[in-house]
Structure 1
Amino acid sequence: MTRRTRPAMGVLLFFAGMVMLAFYFTFAAVQGDYGVFKRAEVDAEARVLRAELALLEADVARLENLTRRLSDSYLDLDLLDQQARDVLGMIRADEIVIR
Structure 2
Amino acid sequence: MWTRHHKKRRLGRLVVPLLAVAFLSYFGYHSIHGGYGLEATKEFDRQIAGRQARLEDLTQQRKTLEKEVELMSDGSLERDMLDEKARLALNMSRSDEIVIFHHPAH
Q: TM-score range by the shorter chain?
A: 0.7 to 0.9
- Segments of 4+ in structure 1 off by > 4 A? none
The CA distance in 2 between the partners of 1:74 and 1:26, in whole Å, is 68
For residues 54-93 of structure 1, what are the alpha-carbon distances to aligned partners after superposition, in whole Å with 9 as ceiling and x for unaligned?
A: 11111111111111111133532211222223334243x7
Q: CA RMSD in A?
A: 2.3
- The higher-RCO structure (CA 8 Å, 6+ apart) is 2
How many equivalent pairs are there? 92
Q: Work out the percentage of aligned pairs sharing the same amino acid.
A: 26
Query: What is the TM-score normalised by the length of structure 2?
Result: 0.73
1:54 to 47, 53, 56: 56
Q: CA deviation at 1:46?
A: 0.7
The correspondence of residues 1-99 of structure 1 with structure 2, limited to 5 A, is 8-73=10-75, 75-88=77-90, 89-91=92-94, 95-97=96-98
The CA distance in 2 between the partners of 1:19 and 1:45, in whole Å, is 35
Structure 1 unaligned residues grouped into runs of 5+:
none
The CA distance in 2 between the partners of 1:58 and 1:68, in whole Å, is 15
* Cα contact 1:68–1:74 (8 A) shared by 2: no
Query: What is the TM-score normalised by the length of structure 1?
Result: 0.77
